[in-house]
Structure 1
Amino acid sequence: MPSHPKLSLEAGLSAIKQGDFQSAIAILEALTQTLANSNIFLQAQIGLIVAYAKSGNIPRAIALCETLTHSQNSEVQRWANRTLEQLTLPRKDSKDFTSLVPFEQNTRITGQKPTQRNNDPNNETSLTPSLTPSLTPSPSPTNPEKSKPLTIHWRQAPRAKTWIQQQKLNLIPFRLLMLGTFIALFWVIRELVVLVMGFINTILVVVPYLQPIQLLYANPTLLLLLVLLILIGVSPRLLDRILTNFYGLQKLEKDTLNRYSKEAVRVLERRCQQQGWQLPKLRVLPLAAPLALTYGNLPRTARIVVSQGLLEQLCDDEIATIYASQLGHMTHWDFAVMSLVLLVTIPIYKAYQYFSEWGDRTTARIWRWVMAVMASIAYVVWCLLTGTGLWLSQLRLYYSDRLAVDMTGNPNGLVRALLKIAIGIADDIQKQEHTSWQLESLNILAPVGYQQSICLGSIAHNTTFESFLMWDYLNPYRWWLVINNTHPLIGDRLQRLLSIARDWHLETELNLEKQQPLRVKRQSFFIQVAPFLGIPIGSVFAIVIWLVWQTAYALKFLNLKWIYDNWSFMTGCWLIGFSIGTLIRINSFFPDIKPSTTQTDDRLPNLLSNPAALPSDSINVRLVGKLLGRRGTSNSLGQDFILQSSTASVRLHYLQWLGQQQNPQNLIGRQITVTGWLRRGATPWIDVQTLQTHSGTTIYSPHPIWSTVLAVVTEAVGAYILLKG
């Protein structure tokens, strides 16, 4: 495609004249993704309507045409209204779409230079930037007093009336992953218990007149295994009690569910009848954020829980697809293992919550500090235990999505449901101005993760879903960057659902078509993973050292075998490799931020829509917005800082500087300016350099310094281990 916008427009219109509508669509869609505030952008949209109509994609042509009916250019409005009438006529009375032309008053648009919109809203010759086919337009961001949030236009793509169920999958790898998750959870718990037991006895040995407890020297493996098996057996009742006491869990009568979604009741009854199950117990949580989860150990003990927000924010068929996906977890039995993970992690999370609340209530500084340490330890332990279920949490959603579509024949409905859940979660966080306890602690079982919802749900009013989600299914390195996420890439999930819709010859809710992965510089990826790449390189270096020492010892040339007679020195090589990789990455990861190179709020949607971006690209940004997050002891590790800008919400990574008196928690709820490095990964975030208020108060976050400290410390420890043996 030509790089110059005007040449690209001419190429797209020429392709329409030649009848190559697919090429025209590709060129013009790419052009509309890169331009705004220009009449070339508007002409490209007009050309897209013609290309869609002539290629038979009438729903997309209608959606885009409806957008242009709101244009402030009167000529464009008249053309869009006439074209919309033609497109919406019944098929038997419709005109020949090949008679459509891009624009009758062509010279009115293409004959003038692109102009910036002035402040006069009644000036018809100044062209407003129409955003997308699936969004209605808003005033220019240059006039914030008149800007309004955009309304999301759902295409309401149809469902299948008859369909052939997809080929059954081989569930053996999935079963093995479930077993591996149980083993990982057991191993982490065992190591933590052994650590605590050893710590207690160490204290008892050091303190005078006290003796260590011999029982704490025993091997807890068999006892812990027995306890976990018992917890699986009693998990339904225990989780009932926990969710009722701490989350307000209530019964959801079938008649009540029927008022929200008659189809959901039919899906439940039909599936249970087919499988020979009892109808699962239905529950509801009094939460505004849309959530859904299933727990239990057998299909007859299963509980399907939804939030009140989900029932109120989703439509009939969309609620049914969510219930169908929860039935998918029961069918595949992954809900039994995930119930155990939830049962083990909720008490740890509640301990973190209680320590935080106690720390906030106390007035003594020493006790506040102690409670902050205890809360932070509890939070880290909760993260470790939750981490054992990450891979199962990701894979099980692909399986449940697939089965939900087979049960309902409605892939488009499930796509809308997942997107609305993300939007609802983002709205809930913005209203509460922090991530709620319930949302974070139940996140591992939710259909959409709250972290991926923060940006996706908030940016939906300022760009297309297609643009933002391209990264999720086109970036070739996306699988490496999702390893530590609780949920799979939502763009990849939706692309798979929409491919099923295309196989069933349905119009799709979104235009996410499978393409060849983008070409991304390998150097950028190697810089991203340099610290972790240093670990296997360190292993190779350790083996080489071992071979050289063994050879030298055998030849009686050098007698160091007494130092390196075991493999403990390999740990030193790993640390040195990690340190070298960290040092290599620092300069690329944290380039100097100059005012001339910083990007501002209006560019944020475009920056986040780049499918070839990697976190190591380190985009310099200076964004203005409202700081959200938890207050007090619960945010001692900086785990919940979010910037709510005018275009999107983005998570902030903040590191405290030693001796700094100012705390960013003091700025929560206020308008601030964030300077830092934007990173586009599985979940976008900003590494903060400074937080500044309008009054001039500045808080620094020394990411480069702490990275250097980490590299130096690991280098020193690694060298010590290597030399000591």
Structure 2
Amino acid sequence: MEAGLVALKQGNYYAAITKLEPIAKNQKQENACLQAKVGLVMAYARTGEVAKAVALCQNLMESSNAQVQEWSKRALKHLKNRHQRLKTANNNFDTGVEFQNPHLDHPQANYLVTDITRDENQPLSIFWRSARRAKVWQPLRKPNLMPDRLIALGTFLLVFWLLKEMLKFTMGAFGQILTKLPFPLPVQIFFTDPSIFVLVCLLGLIVLSPWILDRLLAEFYNQRELSAETLNGYSREATRVIQRICQQRRWPMPQLRIVPLSAPLIFTYGNLARTARITVSQGLLEQLEDDEIAAVYALSLGQMTRWDFMVMSLVMVLTVPLYLMYQEVAAWANQLKKPWYWPISTLSNVLYGLWWLLTSTALFNSRMRLYHSDRLAAETTGNPNGLIRALLKIAIGIAGDVVQQESTCWELESLNLLAPVGYQQSLSLGSLAGYMPFESFLMWENANPYRQWFTINNSHPLMGDRLERLCQIARHWHLDTELHLINQKPFQVKPQSFLLQIAPWLGMPLGILFAGGIWLTWQLAYAIHLLNLKWIYDNGSFVTGCLLIGFSIGTFIRINSFFPNIPNGNLPMAAQLPQLLADPAILPIDSISVRLSGRLLGRSGSDNSLAQDLILQSQQGLVKLHHISWLGQAIQPQEWIGRQVIVTGWLRRGATPWIDIQTLENQSGKTINSPHPIGSTVLAVAAQALGAYILLTG
């Protein structure tokens, strides 16, 4: 009780809910039960859970205590008035709940709780400077497009190589099975080179990609046509921008489409300018202003001038069906019971892994193309500040949608590669808006000297870098900037910290050097007839063994620093989350031990059996969670989706802030362990053993 009331006074409402809910259910101690319920009404009101607060007030009205009855009547009246105003105005904001006398010593006391929150628990303190646009501006210097074209070509070749190797492996495995059968079958075709077949198929898919994606998006995403008149109702400027750009470049008007998603989203697909489609979500049209909608349409039009336009559409043709199959198989698995659940769930995980693998081929291309698109959008509209606001509002809208849906909607994840803002980078950035200035959060993303190393597995560039480039364009045109981002010198970060961060990967080139030393030693020993083991290393496989050993040694070196012991004393709580993420000089290796309370969000069931969608909704924002499952674990985190939990682990600041979970505790005291240090140790031992085996056997 004391811990819950202290948390309530300190504003740590989710921790208060976690502590007070079990006490409120204890009917044996009436005073404590009443006091806990009053505290819960206040905490629920602060966190935007109005329905729970109303239900609890109705329960308190049945109390035999006259003062509690009177208090609950007034509280219920305030809550219902707020709900009615919210419903009538059809906006997204909750006004405060007013009580009197903020003392928590007796349940009969009256209380004063004032707060202003949105449905998704966001404050109203987001301030937009609404910096002006250019009325007359000079064209920007034309960029060199050759590197971008080479990246697009490299992406296509990578997709081709990956598909060819996957097909070759599948054909070879199937051929080997056929050779083991007791009756002869023609199996030679399964051992032929499928390169020509794969190349022809990919070229055919590029040609047909607009119509294939039309069918998929209409069938599974409810995509429909968006008339120019409807778009004009939301943004007159967007209609004019599309017409002007198409006339200047002698393009036909792109086909406009819309999908009924509440999350803000816009993307372009096709293979040529005359087959281009621009799809927007209903949420984007409703959440952005006129000039901001025009800016993101200009961004989408800017992507049509690049080679990667057709390459990205090809990747989507390959990945969207895989993701849809993963969804269907996962839904099937959720309906099954043991023993059939596990094999079907495993199949859904395999499909998700294939989707992730194919998506990864286009990550670099996806990051680089957005810089060019941002530039063209700013130059076309003369409104870099409008594009800055649009990108930030998209991030805020995505974070709000995740809170509202209590998970990342599958449409966002499957179409993320084409989106202007990544859904993962939106979680903390969008949800912390209002709790800290954008400039403070983005300082790491444009001032940390090693920041680009942590975008390798990201589909989108760092928002800080993107917005700083747009601010440079605004300053070039002598405009005030929407954000005060300064292209300053990188902060000083200890080089040894970065070397320790990349120790596993640094061990691999050192492993190659070690392999070279072994090769020279054996060559010398063989030449002087000292040792005749040269035949072991004739095929060069020992290099692979040395690579694995180097990776293992680097992993062992990093484990203690990456996963330091978490003290049992005071740890940073949710209220300090903005400050923890604002330090521009830290790296993921600088582990911050935290203990945060909040609600667990994410998909449930087989859709999340790899823990790919675990998010903590803390008091002041969303944080991505990383979990490692282990054999024999009775409870999985996805079983607690929507519940209040306490997360203990290591907070890390990278391109996407995240927490490596140590323990996950629910309200009833049950705990899920996530053995990250053990997992790293097992990985290092396995790499060491396999490397030694290859090294010794050749």
1:178 to 152, 155, 165: 152
Relative to structure 2, which stretch is displaced further, 479-488 or 211-220? 211-220
Amino acid at match of 1:148: I
- Secondary structure, in 3 states, of the residue corresponding to 2:549? helix
- State the 1:195 CA deviation: 1.7
Is the CA contact 2:609–2:638 (under 8 Å) kept in the aligned structure 1?
no
Correspondence for 1:409 = 382
Correspondence for 1:359 = 333
- Secondary structure, in 3 states, of the residue corresponding to 1:294? strand
- State the 1:367 CA deviation: 1.8
Give the Cα separation in 2 of the matches to 1:645 and 1:138.
Answer: 20
Is the CA contact 2:179–2:187 (under 8 Å) kept in the aligned structure 1?
no
Correspondence for 1:619 = 592
- State the 1:596 CA deviation: 2.7
Give the Cα separation in 2 of the matches to 1:205 and 1:685.
Answer: 49
Correspondence for 2:372 = 399
Matched ranges for 1:43-54 at <5 A: none
Correspondence for 1:158 = 132
2:457 to 484, 502, 527: 484
Give the Cα separation in 2 of the matches to 1:265 and 1:144.
Answer: 50
1:378 to 334, 346, 351: 351
- State the 1:573 CA deviation: 0.2
- State the 1:205 CA deviation: 3.8
Amino acid at match of 1:641: L
Is the CA contact 2:209–2:270 (under 8 Å) kept in the aligned structure 1?
yes
Give the Cα separation in 1 of the matches to 2:229 and 2:131.
Answer: 28
Is the CA contact 1:553–1:559 (under 8 Å) kept in the aligned structure 2?
yes
- State the 1:701 CA deviation: 0.5
- Secondary structure, in 3 states, of the residue corresponding to 2:267? strand
Is the CA contact 2:265–2:283 (under 8 Å) kept in the aligned structure 1?
yes
1:168 to 138, 142, 167: 142
- State the 1:206 CA deviation: 4.4
Amino acid at match of 2:138: I
Matched ranges for 1:253-272 at <5 A: 253-272=227-246
Amino acid at match of 2:299: S
User: For residues 210 and 451 of structure 1, do their structure 2 counterparts lie closer, same or farther at Cα, with a shift above 3 Å needed?
Assistant: farther
Correspondence for 1:546 = 519
Correspondence for 1:514 = 487
Amino acid at match of 2:540: W
User: For residues 212 and 702 of structure 1, do their structure 2 counterparts lie closer, same or farther at Cα, with a shift above 3 Å needed?
Assistant: farther
1:527 aligns with 2:493: no
2:302 to 328, 336, 339: 328
Is the CA contact 1:201–1:212 (under 8 Å) kept in the aligned structure 2?
no
Give the Cα separation in 2 of the matches to 1:207 and 1:631.
Answer: 42
Correspondence for 1:502 = 475
Is the CA contact 1:260–1:316 (under 8 Å) kept in the aligned structure 2?
yes
Is the CA contact 2:605–2:639 (under 8 Å) kept in the aligned structure 1?
no
Which structure ranks higher in relative contact order (CA pairs < 8 Å, sequence separation ≥ 6)? 2
Correspondence for 2:314 = 340
2:265 to 291, 314, 335: 291
Is the CA contact 1:597–1:620 (under 8 Å) kept in the aligned structure 2?
no
Correspondence for 1:300 = 274
User: For residues 275 and 663 of structure 1, do their structure 2 counterparts lie closer, same or farther at Cα, with a shift above 3 Å needed?
Assistant: same
Correspondence for 1:233 = 207
- State the 1:617 CA deviation: 0.5
User: For residues 613 and 381 of structure 1, do their structure 2 counterparts lie closer, same or farther at Cα, with a shift above 3 Å needed?
Assistant: same
Give the Cα separation in 1 of the matches to 2:534 and 2:682.
Answer: 33
1:250 aligns with 2:224: yes
Give the Cα separation in 1 of the matches to 2:186 and 2:328.
Answer: 30
1:273 aligns with 2:247: yes
- Secondary structure, in 3 states, of the residue corresponding to 2:537? coil
- Secondary structure, in 3 states, of the residue corresponding to 1:614? coil
- State the 1:204 CA deviation: 3.2
Q: Residues 506-538 of structure 1: CA distance to partner in whole angstroms, max 9, x if unpaired? A: 111111010000110111111111111111110
Correspondence for 1:711 = 684
Matched ranges for 1:663-682 at <5 A: 663-682=636-655
Is the CA contact 1:281–1:304 (under 8 Å) kept in the aligned structure 2?
yes
1:700 aligns with 2:673: yes
Give the Cα separation in 1 of the matches to 2:442 and 2:476.
Answer: 21
Correspondence for 2:116 = 148
- State the 1:202 CA deviation: 3.1
- State the 1:597 CA deviation: 5.5
1:577 aligns with 2:550: yes
User: For residues 147 and 208 of structure 1, do their structure 2 counterparts lie closer, same or farther at Cα, with a shift above 3 Å needed?
Assistant: farther
User: For residues 352 and 596 of structure 1, do their structure 2 counterparts lie closer, same or farther at Cα, with a shift above 3 Å needed?
Assistant: same
- State the 1:348 CA deviation: 0.9
Is the CA contact 1:202–1:212 (under 8 Å) kept in the aligned structure 2?
no
Matched ranges for 1:643-658 at <5 A: 643-658=616-631
Is the CA contact 2:598–2:617 (under 8 Å) kept in the aligned structure 1?
yes
Where structure 2 has 5 or more consecutive residues not aligned to the other structure, the ranges are 1-9, 12-94, 105-110, 118-122
- State the 1:147 CA deviation: 4.0
- State the 1:547 CA deviation: 0.9
Q: Residues 14-48 of structure 1: CA distance to partner in whole angstroms, max 9, x if unpaired? A: xxxxxxxxxxxxxxxxxxxxxx99xxxxxxxxxxx
- Secondary structure, in 3 states, of the residue corresponding to 1:513? coil
Give the Cα separation in 2 of the matches to 1:536 and 1:522.
Answer: 18
Correspondence for 1:187 = 161
User: For residues 146 and 387 of structure 1, do their structure 2 counterparts lie closer, same or farther at Cα, with a shift above 3 Å needed?
Assistant: same
- State the 1:203 CA deviation: 3.2
Is the CA contact 1:676–1:689 (under 8 Å) kept in the aligned structure 2?
yes
1:606 aligns with 2:574: no
Where structure 1 has 5 or more consecutive residues not aligned to the other structure, the ranges are 1-35, 38-136
1:642 aligns with 2:610: no
How high is the TM-score relative to the length of structure 2? 0.82
Give the fraction of aligned pairs with identical amino acids, expressed as a percent.
58
Give the Cα separation in 1 of the matches to 2:329 and 2:434.
Answer: 38
User: For residues 144 and 426 of structure 1, do their structure 2 counterparts lie closer, same or farther at Cα, with a shift above 3 Å needed?
Assistant: farther
- Secondary structure, in 3 states, of the residue corresponding to 2:654? coil
- Secondary structure, in 3 states, of the residue corresponding to 2:615? strand
Relative to structure 2, which stretch is displaced further, 670-679 or 559-568? 559-568
Amino acid at match of 1:185: V
Give the Cα separation in 1 of the matches to 2:602 and 2:179.
Answer: 42
- State the 1:492 CA deviation: 0.6
Give the Cα separation in 2 of the matches to 1:562 and 1:366.
Answer: 49
Matched ranges for 1:31-180 at <5 A: 146-149=114-117, 150-151=123-124, 152-180=126-154
Give the Cα separation in 2 of the matches to 1:494 and 1:658.
Answer: 44
Is the CA contact 1:282–1:303 (under 8 Å) kept in the aligned structure 2?
yes
Correspondence for 1:427 = 400
2:635 to 640, 662, 670: 662
1:463 aligns with 2:450: no
Amino acid at match of 1:692: E
